[in-house]
Amino acid sequence: MPDFSFESAARAGGALCIAGVDEVGRGPLAGPVTAAAVVLDPASIPAGLNDSKKLTHARRVALSAELHACAQVSIAHASVDEIDALNILRASHLAMMRAIAGLPQAPDYLLIDGNQVPRGLTTPAKTIVKGDARCLSIAAASIVAKVTRDHLMVILAQQHPGYGWETNAGYGTAAHLEALLNLGPTPHHRRSFAPVHNILYQDKSVSA
């Protein structure tokens, strides 16, 4: 289970406002990438925070609501167009930067999931590989980001039925790939991702 040791170490070093940062949605073929930044109140940390992937949907939703009530939370996205223009890593970092900038109080220290700090970041930061399973603030960010993005994909599924986004969140499941072949890409599909790009390329080859 994640713990508060990274935050405690930052506090011992003089940090006062520590934000955990994480993103979800690097792998899907459709939809934006979503990031969250969360500043926990040490006196009011919801019980059961963990890597969002290890929690049930119902538990994630409940914890996300608790976090919105007791922590500083900021959520941001990078669009499909930005993903295609920048690449998914840079777009993920852009979403992180936006989430950090959206916090009501500017943090003076960041705990970031992964092994890379976003370009242009000036706030002191520590990267933590598998941080969502090791650090409570990052676990909180992973939960908020996933609940937000999953909900967004349900809304997009209603606008573009047939791809199963309400259950696959845009990931390349067999049913999603079959729908992509049969229905073609939507404006929310990532053209730079191979399965989508290949279908578009095949269409052009056939028409040529």
The per-residue pLDDT for range 111-137, each reduced to its tens digit, is 999 999 999 999 999 999 999 999 999
Is 163 within a domain? no
Read off the tokens for 110. Answer: 């960041």
CA angle, 74 as apex, 16 and 44 as ends, to 5°? 55
Is 173 within a domain? no
The per-residue pLDDT for range 48-99, each reduced to its tens digit, is 999 999 999 999 999 999 999 999 999 999 999 999 999 999 999 999 999 9
What are the φ/ψ torsions at residue 95 (nearest 5 degrees)?
Answer: -60, -40
- In the prediction, which pLDDT does 203 show? 53
Domain region containing 66: 5-158
Is 190 within a domain? no
Is 38 within a domain? yes
Percentage of the chain exceeding pLDDT 70: 97
Could you tell me which residues are beta bridge partners of residue 128?
A: 113
Is 200 within a domain? no
**pLDDT confidence of 206, banded at 50, 70, 90?**
very low
Residue 39's nearest CA partner among 4, 2, 74 is: 74
Is 14 within a domain? yes
More confident residue, 207 or 194: 194
- In the prediction, which pLDDT does 204 show? 53
For the packed helices 174-183 and 194-207, what is the interaxial angle rounded to 10 degrees? 30
Is 186 within a domain? no
Say how far apart CA 164 and CA 166 lie, in whole Å: 5
pLDDT score of 157 more than 60: yes
Is 92 within a domain? yes
**pLDDT confidence of 199, banded at 50, 70, 90?**
confident
Read off the tokens for 60. Answer: 């994630």
Q: Share the mean pLDDT of the chain.
A: 95
Percentage of the chain exceeding pLDDT 90: 95
CATH number for 73: 3.30.420.10
**What's this model's pTM, rounded to 2 decimal places?**
0.94
Q: How many domains is the chain partitioned into structurally?
A: 1
